[in-house]
Amino acid sequence: MTSQNQAVAMADALTLMLHQQNGIVAALEELAKWVASQGGSVAADNALSALADLDLHSQALIDAINDVRRL
């Protein structure tokens, strides 16, 4: 496999990870809403703070994908 093919494969793998992470974010948001509606505001707040971490990681994945695609 050439280095260009490796770069494409890496960028594709990172893109799939980003899509999975976006799905996890959507599910966590829905769960947090439900937990809050059931009176679990502390647990919902904890879930929402985890979303902030996922947002940071999403941006890091986007940056890595862009870097790899430029190779």
Q: Is the pLDDT of residue 1 over 90?
A: no
Say how far apart CA 5 and CA 40 lie, in whole Å: 48
Q: Average pLDDT for residues 56-71, to the nearest whole number? A: 90
What is the value of pTM for the model shown?
0.77
Q: Is the pLDDT of residue 11 over 90?
A: yes
Residues 6+ apart with CB under 8 A from 71: 3, 4, 7
What is the per-residue pLDDT for 14?
94
In a domain, 48, yes or no: yes
pLDDT tens-digit series, residues 14-59: 999 999 999 999 999 999 999 999 999 999 999 889 888 888 889 9
In a domain, 17, yes or no: yes
In a domain, 71, yes or no: no
Q: Which domain holds residue 25?
A: 3-66
